[in-house]
Chains A and B, each alone.
Chain A
Amino acid sequence: MAYSLRIAHAVENISRNLLVNLYINSSQPMDEYHSGSSLTIWLWEGAEASWAEAEVGVMEAHQAQFRARLARLAEFGRLRVPDHMNSEGDGIHAVKGNTGLRAYGWFDRVSGRRAFIISHVVLKKKQKLDPADLAKASARKDSYRLSKESK
């Protein structure tokens, strides 16, 4: 009996999450990328295309390293090693790959769950942050906030 109740509760949770995600996806231009025990990673509109473009010519091992860091972020909610993630200011954070891959984004809550929303991905050519990337991520974060507040 207790087992059946637990199954029913789990099914109810899954159905509710599916409905919430459908609602979010219909009102916010973003797709779920990966969900871990601590948070869900979302891709803002255009992020996936920028990611594909940034990875042209990047070795598969480096692509795997970048994704392994994102998976760790989803599992634990943070990356502690500064070479894995750092704050760029204005609430924008960058998940870093050793070859210069950067996923710029921000933290928030989506459907009551912690979330990291990726604005865009680039392959950095220089050591320093390109101000254009920070401006782009900040503008997208503003659009996200406006769209969230207007609901």
Chain B
Amino acid sequence: MSKLNDWVEASPERERIYAQEKLIVDTAEEIWEAMDKLEVSKAQLAASLGKSKAFVSQILTGSRNMTLRTLADIASSLGKKVCVRLLDAHESNAWQSVDAVLISRRVAGFAEVEVSNDPRWSNVIPLHKESCKAA
């Protein structure tokens, strides 16, 4: 248990709010990562969406709620698609970007993460037990 987990788990209401905020942060970071890699600016993304730059800024800071349709549009504008899976609430780091997995290929000191070359997982890959093998 970390001090962060202690804070989050102090009440069911906190867990609920934190889960919302974590999803918003993760989504914004994934979008920004794709924009970085493709060298797409906020203004360019806004133009391709037919929205204002302020709209994109608000989406990325989480100050404006993003609909699933908007998320799909953003992904499509960046030549990506969104992959959604519901995981167990206590399964930590079940999904990681390829970058993060490459940085920490060794998991828990004994498991090796298998990086999928399947183009379906070009942006996000699963880090499940079955994708780990003994070092």
Using a CB–CB distance below 8 Å, which chain A residues touch chain B? 2, 6, 9-10, 13, 31-38, 41, 43, 60-61, 64-65, 67-72, 75-77, 79-81, 83-84, 98
Contacts and interface: CB of A to CB of B under 8 A. Distances in A.
B100 A81 contact: no
Contact of A9 (B3, B17, B110): B110
B110 to A, nearest CB: 4
B121 interface: no
B109 A2 contact: no
B65 to A, nearest CB: 13
Interface string B64-105: 000000000000000000000000000001001101100110
The range of chain B's interface size is 35 or more
Interface of B: 2-5, 7-8, 13-14, 17-18, 20-22, 24-26, 28-29, 32-33, 36, 57, 60-63, 93, 96-97, 99-100, 103-104, 107-110, 134
B18 A77 contact: no
Contacts of A9: 109-110
A75 B93 contact: yes
Nearest to B108: A10
